[in-house]
Amino acid sequence: MKDLTQTKFLMALAGAGSAALLLGAFGFQHIGGLAPCAMCLWQRWPHAVAIALAAVGLAVPHAIVAVAGALSMLTGAGIALLHTGVEREWWTLNLACTGGGEDLGAMDVTALLDPTQGSGIVLCTEVAWSFLGLSMASWNGLASLAIAALWIAAAWSVWSSSKKA
């Protein structure tokens, strides 16, 4: 019973972390006036998935849910790393948000994640905000890795409790 409580706590904490990051992104956008670029919006999706998985995990604390949560956050960290690389000019992408290439506006997304919302085109190559030399994308990547560790700990908790039974 203790392991089940620990698993649910870890899943809830991971979901709360994703919710906090997503709310922070919306706050920067809607309160702070920092319109997101397309890659910023891509980084929101794994957090939305992780929040849903946390809700499922609280009802059904299964290892597969925890592994899916970890994969979601590792995907988010990967997108954040990709965005950080574009911002720091480690590599280039031929996308509309970098000033050329394909039109990303054709995606069918909700209003909160719609890249056409806000005040015009925002380039993915520009850092809108940074703290201690790291952009929002970099901080999101680090936070996503920390949340992935919570999901992995939750999966470990489920596996270790199943071995005891």
- Please list, residue by residue across 84-98, b when 16 or more beta carbons sit within 10 angstroms of its beta carbon and e when fewer do: bebbeeeeebebbbb
* Cα–Cα distance for residue pair 157/8, rounded to 1 Å: 10
Digit-coded pLDDT (tens) for 6-42: 888 999 999 999 999 999 988 888 888 888 887 888 8
Token pair of 133 as six digits: 């030399």
pTM here is 0.76
Bigger pLDDT: 152 vs 63? 152
What burial class does residue 27 get, using C-beta atoms within 10 Å of its C-beta: 0-12 exposed, 13-18 middle, 19+ buried?
exposed
Using only C-alpha atoms, the chain has a radius of gyration, in whole angstroms, of 17
- 163 CB contacts (<8 Å, ≥6 apart)? none
* Residue-level pLDDT at 109: 45
Digit-coded pLDDT (tens) for 42-81: 888 999 999 999 999 998 888 899 999 999 999 999 999 9
List domains and CATH numbers for the chain.
Answer: 2-103+115-164 (1.20.1550)
Bigger pLDDT: 92 vs 72? 72
